[in-house]
Amino acid sequence: MNAPASPPSPYSSAIGKSNIESHTLSILVDNEPGVLARVVGLFSGRGYNIESLTVAEVAHTEHVSRITIATSGTPEVIEQISHQLERIVPIHKVTDLTTLGNAIERELAMVKVRGKGENRVETLRLAEAFKAKVIDATLESFVFELTGAPKKIDDFIEIMRPIGLVEVSRTGVAAITRGQERT
């Protein structure tokens, strides 16, 4: 007996990979149990991928949280995701920060790197170039703290890989628009 075929992924469309774009969505929601599960459930139920997810309360007295999701898809898929999110009841506002064009994105990472002898000196030199801060050191390794655009963190990780990258922990993207308007 054959298992039922799963629905096609929105990422495997006939349009091709060249039309896939990365987008950052800002979602203002009521800070109540189950909201995050409903948002994540929408993504998993439709076969959408979440590349980064951060959640924090942003207005304590109003009990409002911001969910920031980095995802990718065709422009049509991104628009569909936004419209489907808007229909979830405790969501106040969905903003595609990527289409606004004036968003600032940052991420925090802790990166553990092995380093002995000459590699130790090279590791510190490269970390200084990236403005990474040493937050822990042993005789055989360093843990660096690095804040910046996701691409900067990706570049730092890749440059540390051949030196002796051990482990990486990332917070996920936090984003906000420039100017006076609230998103």
Same domain, 30 and 94: yes
> For residue range 140-167, what is the model confidence (pLDDT) as tens digits?
999 999 999 999 999 999 999 999 999 9
Same domain, 27 and 93: yes
Looking up residue 111, the CATH number of its domain turns out to be: 3.30.70.1150
> For residue range 117-134, what is the model confidence (pLDDT) as tens digits?
888 999 999 999 999 999
pLDDT for the residue 13: 47
Where is the domain boundary, 101, 116, 139?
101
- DSSP sequence for the chain: -PPPPPPPPGGG-TT-GGG-EEEEEEEEEE--TTHHHHHHHHHHHHTPPEEEEEEEEEETTTTEEEEEEEEEE-HHHHHHHHHHHHTSTTEEEEEEHHHHS-EEEEEEEEEEEE--HHHHHHHHHHHHHTTPEEEEE-SSEEEEEEEE-HHHHHHHHHHHHHHHEEEEEE---EEEESSS---
> Is 62 among the domain residues?
yes
> Is 141 among the domain residues?
yes
> Is 182 among the domain residues?
no
Rounded to two decimals, what is the model's pTM? 0.82
> Is 157 among the domain residues?
yes
Write down the mean pLDDT value for the chain: 90
> For residue range 57-84, what is the model confidence (pLDDT) as tens digits?
999 999 999 999 999 999 999 999 999 9
Distances, alpha carbon 6 to alpha carbons 2, 9, 163, in Å? 12, 9, 42
How many domains is the chain partitioned into structurally?
2
Spatial contact of 173 and 106, defined as CB atoms under 8 Å apart: yes
Same domain, 48 and 115: no
Same domain, 160 and 109: yes
> Is 1 among the domain residues?
no
Rounded-to-integer distance, Cα 165 and Cα 136, Å = 15
Same domain, 87 and 116: no
Same domain, 80 and 122: no
Which residues form the domain of 156? Answer: 104-175
> Is 91 among the domain residues?
yes
